């Protein structure tokens, strides 16, 4: 079985809005289209356009999100994926 990030993000996009009706739960997301994805001045997308969907869900001050982008790097990777959430507290 292979991991298909596009299918995962699409599934989340269809599922999470229905959860947003439950109390204090909020959902946001969107898609950015760029002509070239850059990081530190270097192209991450091989000089080609990139789609960058993002989703975030939160409830009572807790939150989590995911951001993705199509890339083309020297290692053969084609997807960049960032997960976000609250920082861990150190005691």
71 domain residue, yes or no: yes
Where do we find the tokens 């990777």? 77
Q: Is residue 62 classed as helix, strand or coil in its secondary structure?
A: strand
Per-residue tokens: 38: 């850059």
23 domain residue, yes or no: no
Number of domains in the chain: 1
12 domain residue, yes or no: yes
Bridge partners of residue 34, in order along the sequence: 50
* Each residue's pLDDT expressed in tens, for the chain with a length of 91 residues: 445 556 555 555 655 555 555 568 899 999 999 898 877 888 888 888 889 999 999 988 888 999 999 888 788 888 889 999 887 666 6
Q: Could you list the residue range(s) of the whole structural domain that residue 13 is in?
A: 5-17+29-84
Sign of CA dihedral 67, 68, 73, 75: positive
Global confidence as pTM: 0.64
35 domain residue, yes or no: yes
Where do we find the tokens 């939160």? 58
């Amino acid at each position: 079985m292979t991991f298909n990030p596009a299918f995962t993000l699409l599934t989340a996009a269809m599922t999470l809005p229905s959860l947003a009706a439950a109390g204090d739960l909020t959902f946001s997301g969107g898609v950015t289209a760029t002509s070239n994805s850059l990081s530190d001045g270097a192209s991450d997308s091989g000089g080609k356009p990139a789609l960058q969907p993002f989703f975030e869900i939160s409830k009572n001050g807790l939150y989590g999100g995911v951001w993705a982008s199509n890339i083309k790097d020297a290692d053969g990777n084609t997807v960049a994926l960032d997960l976000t959430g609250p920082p861990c507290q150190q005691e």
